[in-house]
Amino acid sequence: MSAEKMACDKSDCYSTRGLNPAVDFRSNLHAPKPNLTTMSELPDCFYCRKDQRLHDLMIEIAPLSASTLFLFKEQTHPGRCVVAYRGHVNELFELPEAELALFTKDVARAAKAIKTAFGATKINYGAYSDKLPHLHFHLVPKYKDGPSFGTTFEMMPANKKLLSDAEYAETIKAIKAVL
């Protein structure tokens, strides 16, 4: 995100949403420019940097209120997505109350869209962040008689199911239609 996009003509953008700029400088597109001026000053986090590591694993679907919705490229569970919080925090309890409400609504909105678009029996929610300290939820649609129904999903199954570019585009289109 460019510094120009992060600039705000209001001096109190954070106070109007109850945000803590020391913790969350990316959740509000109208936020004042942070003190971080170069990519090298961002945490080594692919959600923050939006670098090749991120693009190798997922495709951005849409920005949400406090997060971004991504399609996970590994599609053993059709419609599997990730909702990643825009600011760099690791735990739900680190969010100010207003941001927690927005992020939770984003997760629920995305889960409903996935379930509606693909007719999933159940959505599983995974929030680990052990190895990647950035608040994000895996939304994994489960289907009766489908892979790992009734058990925990595998993060990266041995037999990965990757799609063609056209199939990814159709999957994203189906989610956006009901988002």
Is residue 173 in a domain? yes
Residue 13 included in any domain: no
pLDDT for position 40? 54
Q: Does residue 158 belong to any structural domain of this protein?
A: yes
| pLDDT score at 153 | 79
Query: Confidence band (pLDDT; 50, 70, 90) for 123?
Result: very high
Total domain count, the chain: 1
pLDDT digits over 23-61, tens only?
443 444 333 334 444 445 678 899 999 999 999 999 999
Tell me whether residue 35 is in a domain: no
Longest CA span, the chain: 54
pLDDT on residue 61: 98
Residue 113 domain-assigned? yes
71-80 average pLDDT score: 97
The pLDDT score that the predictor gives to residue 146 is 85
Domain of 122: which CATH number?
3.30.428.10
pLDDT of residue 118: 97
